[in-house]
């Protein structure tokens, strides 16, 4: 099986490259499923139902969120009726939505996606290890799931790496999101789980992690609050990883970075 995981979409520029590239990538790479982190898709802050619909129409099967999950208030009610949008599993009890979602491929195989927030430098979230352990009591490879992908939305690479090793052999892939910079540590771990510390953002890299560089510089250099951050609007790069796995075991056989468009070095696709 081939599963594409697309890193954090940032603003209109990120949406444009994702929606332009995803239909062709599905066909060209023979993808079984496409998962997209969309928590910065609406002006850099959150996700709206309309943008979610556009991403689904372009070929996304499931969308994950993160710490900006509720920046667009209209998503709070919408997520209750849209199981294809996944928020972090370790948010407080009673939070709208679910931290686990699944889809079926054209061949009928079930892809399960879980998301957790890291706790180091990010805020008050539940223990991601305990929440993942509980969730994986219900989902298991070569049983009721043909592939299990975990999105770790976290600041610290140490926390992401620890979760990767914690889950090694039990899930298909652990992919890091949130820091908006693609890392070069993609590999298949000893137990058969694909891992990368950060997929990178899908946005304009002539920026400060996706935001207009002039506004960002002013905010860094002044103690006086300045204008609200705005996403950079130049040509964007789609950053993703292609995870290939054995359909019999659900374990990974390869993980390959993919970067298309914009200013970064192009790979794959």
What three-state secondary structure class fits 94?
coil
Cα–Cα nearest to 160, from 187, 122, 200, 195: 195
**Contact between 268 and 186 (Cβ < 8 Å):** no
**Who's near 195: CB < 8 A, 6+ residues apart?**
161, 164, 168, 173, 174, 175, 185, 186, 187, 188, 189, 255
Residues known to be catalytic: 68
Tokens in use for 134?
A: 């509980």
Name the β-bridge partners of 34.
4
Q: Which two tokens stand for residue 218?
A: 């002013």
What dihedral do alpha carbons 262, 264, 268, 269 form, nearest 10°? -10
d(CA 67, CA 117): 7
- Helix 157-167 and helix 128-135, axial crossing angle in degrees, nearest 10: 30
Question: 69: burial class by Cβ within 10 Å (0-12, 13-18, 19+)?
Answer: buried
Task: Report which of 132, 142, 136, 138 is spatially closest to residue 110, judged by C-alpha positions.
Answer: 142
Computed on alpha carbons and rounded to an integer, the radius of gyration of the chain in Å comes to 17
Residue 111 tokens read as 């892809």
């Amino acid at each position: 099986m081939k599963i594409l995981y697309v890193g954090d979409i940032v603003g209109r520029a990120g949406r444009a490259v994702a929606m332009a590239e995803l239909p062709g990538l599905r066909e060209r790479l023979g993808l079984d499923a496409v998962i997209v982190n969309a928590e910065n898709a609406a002006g850099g802050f959150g996700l709206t139902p309309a943008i979610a619909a556009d991403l689904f129409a372009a070929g996304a099967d499931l969308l994950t969120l993160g710490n900006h999950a509720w920046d667009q208030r209209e998503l709070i009610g919408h997520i209750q009726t849209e199981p294809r949008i996944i928020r972090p599993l370790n948010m407080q009890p009673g939070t709208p939505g679910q931290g686990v979602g699944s889809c079926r491929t054209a061949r009928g195989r079930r892809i399960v996606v879980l998301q957790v927030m890291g706790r180091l430098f990010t805020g008050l979230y539940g223990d991601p290890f305990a929440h993942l352990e509980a969730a994986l009591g219900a989902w298991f490879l070569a049983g009721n799931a043909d592939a299990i992908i975990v999105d770790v939305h976290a600041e610290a690479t140490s926390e992401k790496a620890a979760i990767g090793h914690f889950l090694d052999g039990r899930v298909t892939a652990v992919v890091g999101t949130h820091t908006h910079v693609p890392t070069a540590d993609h590999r298949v771990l000893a137990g058969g789980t694909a891992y990368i510390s950060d997929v990178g953002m899908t946005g304009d890299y002539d920026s400060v992690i996706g935001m207009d560089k002039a506004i960002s510089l002013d905010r860094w250099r002044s103690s006086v609050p300045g204008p609200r951050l705005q996403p950079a609007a130049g040509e964007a790069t789609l950053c993703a990883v292609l995870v290939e796995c054995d359909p019999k075991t659900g374990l990974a056989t390869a993980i390959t970075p993919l970067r298309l468009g914009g200013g970064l070095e192009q790979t794959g696709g």
